[in-house]
Amino acid sequence: KAGVTQTPRYLIKTRGQQVTLSCSPISGHRSVSWYQQTPGQGLQFLFEYFSETQRNKGNFPGRFSGRQFSNSRSEMNVSTLELGDSALYLCASSSRTGDTEAFFGQGTRLTVV
Amino acid sequence: SQKIEQNSEALNIQEGKTATLTCNYTNYSPAYLQWYRQDPGRGPVFLLLIRENEKEKRKERLKVTFDTTLKQSLFHITASQPADSATYLCALGYGNNRLAFGKGNQVVVIP
C-alpha cells in the first residue's frame, strides 16, 4: 500500500509569510503526528491528530497550527514565518495512538529567507 | 529537565563487527521505547519497539535492550554491513501517547 505522502517536498518562503504543508497518511491510519527536525534540536514533536481531534501538542508557539480532515489527511500551518522556522517538517501516521510503529513521510524542507 | 541522550560522535565500525548504540534518558517514565533509522534527506523508518516490561527484543540482525532502572536502552547491529550506515534515533513513548526523540547517532560501516 502507498506510504505517507507529504507535499510539497521543498518550499522557500520569506519572513512574515505563512505556509501550509500537507500530509496524506497510509490508508486506514487515523493518527497523524507532525515533527520539526533541525540539526541543532533534532526531531521535536509539534502535534498529533486522531480522528480529526488534536490529542497532543508540543511546546511550539501558537503560530504553528494544524488540522485533520475526515479522510485523515492533515495540514499544518505556520504563520508569520521566522528564519528559525527553517527545518524539515515530518509527518507520521499510525493505525492507532500509543505503542505502535509510526510511518514517516519524506518530509517537507522549508527554507525561510 | 527531560533529556534523551545519544552519542553525538559517529560510530565508525568495520564490516562484520557488532555496532552498539546507547540511548540514555532522564526525567522520563517511558512506557515503551522505539528505534528508527534515518537516511539523509529521508524520513525515519521504524525498526523495533520494546515495552517497559520487556528486557530484550530481536529482529533479524538487530537487538535492543531496555533497562528502566539504568534508564538506558542499547541497540545492537550484528554482522554490520555498509548498507547499515545511517543515523539511528531512539524515541521514548510516555505520558498521553507522546513520543520524544533523541538527536540520533550516526553509524558508518567501513568495508
Nearest CA in chain A to B4: A42
B93/A99 Cβ within 8 A: yes
- Could you tell me which chain B residue has the CA closest to the CA of A37? B103
pLDDT in tens, A2-41: 899 999 999 999 999 999 999 999 999 999 999 999 988 9
| Residue that is written with C-alpha cell 527553517 in the block | A86
Q: What are phi and psi of A83, to 5 degrees?
A: -55, -35
In whole angstroms, give the CA distance from residue B108 to residue A39.
18
Sequence letter at residue B90: C
What residues of chain B lie within 8 A of the CB of A56, using their CB?
A: 96-98
Q: Pick A105's closest partner by Cβ from B36, B43, B102.
A: B43
Per the structure block, which three cell numbers stand in for B76? Answer: 545492537
Q: Supply φ then ψ for residue B90, to 5 degrees.
A: -100, 150
What is residue B68's DSSP assignment? T
Q: How many residues does chain A have?
A: 113
pLDDT of B50-93, one tens digit each? 999 999 999 999 999 999 999 999 999 999 999 999 999 999 99
